[in-house]
Structure 1
């Protein structure tokens, strides 16, 4: 098992996670207020190197929204990409920053027309295999 951390300051961004194959896109109606179930299960991560361009998926490491830690919302409101259902769209660049060094680290998606996921930005995170039991 491994966790992901900020490349700049090594702040942990996830608990220990297991790798899984990227699940298919979660289908859903574009009904206002209806958010899809999370794309990956809690405690797992999957690599998405070929996102669906038509669905505005970011490229990177896909995790469950409940598994992101050590971050906060981006201070630039234009990055939050809040759309019709007031959920984050993640289409305007990373909308989560490291809570320690404030580096852009991930895009959270969770509006009615996007997948429900957090995508870690590959150049801005590291994959750590430490056995630290506190993570």
Structure 2
């Protein structure tokens, strides 16, 4: 697999399984499934209906269970960690724009619900950085 122009092999690569896998969609779930299927030795084809990727202003949170596959891709994990928004502020609004939760530093929100900010339940990411 090529990552940013370099060959990257995952830890624990399996031999070819002969299984053909079709993945529909290049969202994070589709791409995550694709790289794990490749690691398992499957032949993967990914389909996407959109002609281009539109990521303007797109931010999301990935919990730890969704990122466990990174243990097999140490180079990818290092890059993912380097672009995470570790000092993020977050606010919550309704679709109408009405503010539901005022802007608050993520660590303060974690503390407010009894979680340790040094071991957050995941990381915030900007999709444009993931898709670069």
- Shorter-chain TM-score above 0.5: no
Task: With the length of structure 1 as denominator, give the TM-score of the two structures.
Answer: 0.31
Larger RCO (CA within 8 A; separation ≥ 6):
1
Q: Which has the larger radius of gyration?
A: 2
* Greater percentage in helix: 2
